């Protein structure tokens, strides 16, 4: 796999609130990652699409006048970090549901995106822009030159 250039930061991109902007998000990622390994590029496009869609669906970024900011940079070790900053007011934190009741299982179809990001990235997380108010989150996913080793499953099967 071709390694990412060390210490590169791309210009932040701002997208308007519409899911129709997914085309531009994907196009810009492909353009910005020209020359990178095609598997890495495809993975970043897939995960970036999910993170952008979540920002539009679940925060004020999807409201009239809303925006989402995309960041992209290399981490200095050959990996790439992709991030999206939303405008908050979603009332929830970006997390993978762990325990589900009947209502949560009914909504489960819409809860798989972060699980996908977790599985395809070497790590992900978020930072609240303001600890005392729901003013937005910056959600990032890291993509290293190699996948981390998977922990053994309980019972010893993989």
What pLDDT is recorded for position 158?
34
Average confidence (pLDDT) over 16-29: 94
Tokens of 20: 């129709």
Q: What is the pTM of this model?
A: 0.77
For residue 14, the cross-strand partners are 69
Q: Which of 13-17, 22-26, 107-111, 140-144 has the lowest mean pLDDT?
A: 107-111
Query: Percentage of the chain surpassing pLDDT 90?
Result: 44
Q: What is the dihedral of CA 12, 90, 136, 49, to 10 degrees?
A: -20
Tokens of 111: 């809860």
Nearest to 117 by CA among 34, 58, 49: 49
Q: Does the pLDDT at position 84 exceed 90?
A: yes
Q: Does the pLDDT at position 12 exceed 90?
A: yes
Q: Kindly indicate the confidence band of residue 96, based on its pLDDT and cuts at 50, 70 and 90.
A: low
């Amino acid at each position: 796999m071709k390694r990412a250039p060390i210490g590169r930061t791309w210009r932040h991109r701002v997208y308007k609130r519409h899911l129709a902007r997914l085309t531009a998000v994907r196009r810009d990622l492909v353009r910005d990652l020209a020359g990178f390994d095609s598997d890495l590029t495809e993975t970043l496009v897939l995960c970036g699409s999910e993170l952008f869609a979540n920002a539009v669906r679940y925060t004020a970024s999807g409201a009239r006048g809303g925006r989402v900011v995309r960041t992209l940079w290399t981490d200095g070790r050959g990996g790439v970090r992709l991030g999206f900053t939303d405008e908050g007011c979603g009332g929830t934190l970006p997390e993978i549901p762990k325990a589900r009741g009947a209502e949560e299982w009914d909504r489960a179809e819409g809860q798989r995106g972060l699980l996908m990001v977790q599985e395809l990235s070497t790590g992900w997380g978020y930072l609240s822009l303001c600890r005392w108010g729901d003013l937005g989150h910056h959600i990032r996913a890291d993509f290293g030159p190699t996948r981390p080793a998977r922990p053994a499953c309980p019972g010893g099967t993989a």
